[in-house]
Amino acid sequence: MVAIKSLAAAMALLPLALAHPGENKEAIKREMGLRNVAHAHASRALSKCQDSASSLEMKKRSAARRAEKVKSLRAKRGLTSEPLSHQKRDLTELGYYAGISHNSTAGYTLDTPETTIFGSNNTCALVPETTIGPYYVTGEYIRSDITEGQAGVPLHLEMQFVDMNTCAPVPQLLADVWHCNATGVYSGIGTDEGEGGLNSTFLRGVQTSDADGTVAFDTLFPGHYNARVTHFHLVVQTNGTYQANNTYTGGDTLHVGQLYFDDSLVKAVEATYPYYTNTIAYTTWEDDGWMLEEATAQYDPFVEYVQLSEDLADGLLGWITVAVNLSSNHTANLTAAAHLYKDGGVAVNGSSKGLPPSNPNAPMPSM
């Protein structure tokens, strides 16, 4: 445990405003080297508990919960008589895990047991406690539906948080998520590159983990933007203070990371409207230096999923289990591009993605 704490302290010295265009590749390599060591420690810790009776029981509950959610989503869309998508996809673009389909309906039918389809948890696949990127905004609303009328492929995403030392679920964590829309636009930040603006909040939100350490968001499959493959941002906080306006303040940052999706799924989504209207050049795995450092033979950052029908327009259910180190603390390095207050968004002075720049002499807006 001492080694892990020392490693966390070393990682805290690295800048978190990376993983987007203009990042320092050498800093990424150093950071990924530390991440790989942290992963080795965590994997050994997880291996001691993931097959325990309590962990296996939790996995059964997770499988049943996901199966029930698929049933309700399909019923809502009138898909009760249609089979789940079972197209087998062949991935060859990236290393070991990008060569494995995470489509959990591959080869399955409605008669396949739910524990077979929904039972995989990817518990050993730790999301890296590394970068925050320049698009983080504080003061986001605590809510499960973050779509706000945006167009795209519906995605119900479930994340389950477990203690990497005990494999026990971790309740009362604040999962803060955000991602770009179908055409590569982020909300909550300035308009220097066509972003949504400081007062916009689409595709951003916060949820509190339940007794099984689970949060779920109704969102859209992310689009792509300059020099990055498709991804989904996540910050995990604890000890935050809930505010009357349905936001939170303060807290300790346990985890910072990104989630990714099968390349074949991304390409299939990108061929649909409105994704294909995106004028930003599509970045492949080979051209995203960050992602090439993410996926190794020991680390799988990809979301597992089922396609609700053969038609992508009917949506997806995705899930991943994130193991967190409850003794880690990245609060000192958690920087934001902007803050959302009661009276609107305010950019962080000097942020590359928070235009127009804020006035350091202006009074702090009310919460």
Confidence class of residue 300 from pLDDT cuts 50, 70 and 90?
low
Q: How many CB atoms lie within 10 A of CB 289?
A: 16
Percent of the chain predicted with pLDDT > 70: 63
Question: Following DSSP, what letter does each residue of 94-130 receive, concatenated?
Answer: STTGGGS--BTTTT--TTS-HHHHH----TT-PPPS-
Environment class of 292 (CB within 10 Å of its CB; exposed 0-12, middle 13-18, buried 19+): middle
CB 108 within 8 A of CB 118: no
| Residue 92 scores a pLDDT above 60 | no
pLDDT at 91: 30
CA distance 198 to 196: 7
Average pLDDT, the chain: 73
Environment class of 204 (CB within 10 Å of its CB; exposed 0-12, middle 13-18, buried 19+): buried
Confidence class of residue 257 from pLDDT cuts 50, 70 and 90?
confident
| Residue 260 scores a pLDDT above 50 | yes
Confidence class of residue 33 from pLDDT cuts 50, 70 and 90?
low
| Residue 325 scores a pLDDT above 80 | yes
Domains of the chain with bracketed CATH: 2-347 (2.60.130.10)
| Residue 266 scores a pLDDT above 50 | yes
pLDDT in tens, 169-205: 999 999 999 999 999 999 998 755 557 888 999 999 9
Confidence class of residue 38 from pLDDT cuts 50, 70 and 90?
low
Amino acid at 216: A
Minimum mean pLDDT among 48-62, 209-223, 246-260, 350-364: which range? 350-364
Provide the b/e sequence for 120-138 (b: ≥16 CB within 10 Å): bbbbbbbbbbbbbbbbbbb
CA distance 12 to 205: 25
Tell me the mean pLDDT in the region 145-171: 93
CA distance 335 to 172: 23
CA distance 90 to 236: 33
Sequence length of the chain is 367
Q: Is the dihedral of CA 221, 225, 227, 232 positive or negative?
A: negative
Confidence class of residue 2 from pLDDT cuts 50, 70 and 90?
very low
Q: How is residue 16 annotated by DSSP?
A: S
Confidence class of residue 278 from pLDDT cuts 50, 70 and 90?
very high
